[in-house]
Structure 1
Amino acid sequence: MSEKLAGVQLVLSDGSKVDAGEHLKDKLVALYFSASWCPPCQRFTPLLKRFYEEARAAGKDIEVIFVSRDREEEALVEYYKEHMGKWAYIEFGNEKIQELLKEYEVKTIPSLKVIKPDGTVLVQDARTEVQERGDKSAEELCEEWEAFAF
């Protein structure tokens, strides 16, 4: 994914901006398509945040990129700041959002896709895997994904 998003600016949790290509290099990347107005997203986001924090605490180099379907920048930023993990997001209005929606055939939200460095899909429905991981820890699930990502 680092190759595919090279040149795109990501916003980090502290408000700073970084080049996605550099920031995502050698990381396991998940694209999180979501929006503040979406009730299923509001239910899934806390699960993803917990998963992300657990994976990072276990030393996993995973990065979630929030790809917002919000209709206003204020809604995106508020939803991100109040409910999301310390991952990054693509700025409101960036043309890359529409490209990603089309390329990864995102028809409904929330949608979570784990993407290989070259931009191909590794896990089409990572949302279900995170939601229904049973007795697997976040670390174990990330290790399964990593085995096929690099």
Structure 2
Amino acid sequence: MSQKDSNILDLLKGNLVKGDKDFELTDEECIGFYFSAMWCPPCRGFTPKLVSFYNKVKCQGEKFEIIFMSGDFDEETFHEYYAEMPWAALKFDLSSIKDTISEKFNIIGIPNLVIVDKAGNLITTNGRGAVLKQFGETVSLTWT
């Protein structure tokens, strides 16, 4: 089975970190793929809002994880930007997996937040809009 044909969540096995430790998805009900890069001003503006959202839903006990899909040009910049994020990340040197997932969801620009369910089925390609709509309010995992 090619990368393109496999379940997108299967591509992540053994390929994630959280902080400086290896990480595996376990019992998440939904997963966000956060396509972003340090060099992108709109990304730099959205990331703190997403951190706030993420922290609130995690404190509420929601089974939710975000995976940073870096568009940074070098590993040093990736690590500097990722240090601002409390969630998981695809290891920097795995751009082919990022490209496969990006292609699957027709990612054209960044920042972009795609939400899938625990089976990898698409919930929304407008997670960013849903987060911004709820920003500053009581948050929930409502993606419409």
Q: CA deviation at 1:58?
A: 1.0
Change (3 A) 1:123 1:24: farther
CA distance in 2, matches of 1:98, 1:125: 19
CA distance in 1, matches of 2:18, 2:11: 15
Which residue number in structure 1 is paired with residue 92 of structure 2?
A: 92
Which residue number in structure 2 is paired with residue 17 of structure 1?
A: 22
Q: CA deviation at 1:121?
A: 1.1
Residue 115 of structure 1 aligns with an amino acid whose one-letter code is: V
Q: CA deviation at 1:9?
A: 1.5
SS of the residue 2:61 aligns to: coil
Question: Could you tell me whether the CA contact under 8 Å between 2:14 and 2:22 is conserved in 1?
Answer: no
Q: Which has the higher helix share?
A: 1
CA distance in 1, matches of 2:82, 2:9: 25
Question: Could you tell me whether the CA contact under 8 Å between 1:4 and 1:118 is conserved in 2?
Answer: no
How many pairs align?
136
Q: CA deviation at 1:136?
A: 4.8
Matched, 1:132 2:133: yes
Alignment of 1:66-77 (within 5 A): 66-77=68-79
Runs ≥4 residues deviating over 6 A: none
CA distance in 2, matches of 1:45, 1:55: 15
CA distance in 2, matches of 1:80, 1:40: 16
Cα shift readout 1:55-75 (whole Å, capped 9, x = no counterpart): 111111110000001110111
For normalisation by structure 1, the TM-score amounts to 0.82
| Sequence identity (%) | 29
* Structure 1 segments unaligned to the other structure (5+ residues): 146-150
Which residue number in structure 1 is paired with residue 3 of structure 2?
A: none
CA distance in 1, matches of 2:57, 2:115: 14
Alignment of 1:1-150 (within 5 A): 3-13=9-19, 15-18=20-23, 20=24, 23-81=25-83, 83-84=84-85, 86-94=86-94, 95-133=96-134, 136-138=137-139, 141-142=140-141, 144-145=142-143
